[in-house]
Amino acid sequence: MPLCSMKDLLKRADASGYAVGSFSVANMECIQGVLQAAETLRSPVILQIAEIRLPCSPLYLIGPMMMAAARQASVPVAVHLDHGKTMDCIREALDLGFTSVMCDASHLPIEENMRFAEKTVRLAEKYGAAVEAEVGQIGRGEDGAEQKEVIAGVDDALRMDGTGIDALAVGIGNAHGLYAQAPHLRYDVLDQLYGRIRSALVLHGGSGLSDEQYRHLIRCGMRKMNIATDLFRAQAQACSGEDIFTNIKNSSQAVSGIVARNIRLFGSEGKA
């Protein structure tokens, strides 16, 4: 199965009313666990890594591993840079063959956010890659640091959609990491956007939501669901013994179990 475009995966998901899981990885064990579940359940998936994770998992090492795993998979796999903050990192991911990149300037005024997105789209077009951007601001950063939550404005989302991006993450009361309490998600924002924008809608901060919240989000048009914290916690909890090879096996199996549950919940099982 060839390496796939995220744009194509999300278009197919929209046509059939399901979502594709975009699973954050940090090491070989996590990559293996994601693909084991995807191949068993015959589901398309997205492998992703955020720029902020690269001090622990350098892109020049983990990027080729992600690409090799995707090329060897028997199901459609896209490889994605999550929360790309710098053009240098975005360019490096594209040079490695990533099929999509996220340009995240959501903390800046909308005009600057749009300029960063437009610049990224122009660059990504040379590689045939898709682009994701973000509007509003998601509570708590990818590194767990607290940040002000900003609900996405519909007008800003429509303007960002006009930059040529392929996917749009929207702040609707979601947050990275673990939720201290059940979040109040603004489905009304999605209702105003779905069908009016060409970009696929993306949810960040998926770990910890209820099954019904996921189902509601999919009904509102969410087509890409990002999962990170649940995977990292499962890996950490699985590694308790002194034998490194047992830890590797247990770590992959723990990730596979989380991914399999999400694939079934998102409705992508059997869609490969």
Residues tagged active-site: 82
Torsion, CA 100, CA 204, CA 218, CA 39, rounded to 10: 60
Q: Return the structure tokens found at 86.
A: 């710098």
- What is the radius of gyration, based on Cα positions, of the chain? 17
CA dihedral for 53, 12, 215, 104, sign (positive or negative): positive
Q: How far apart are CA 35 and CA 41, in angstroms?
A: 10
Q: Return the structure tokens found at 57.
A: 């998992």
Residues forming a β-bridge with 182: none
Q: How far apart are CA 123 and CA 249, in angstroms?
A: 39
Scanning 17-109, the segments in alpha helix (DSSP H) are 28-41, 59-72, 87-96
Q: Which helix or strand (DSSP H or E) is residue 143 part of?
A: none
Q: How far apart are CA 22 and CA 254, in angstroms?
A: 17
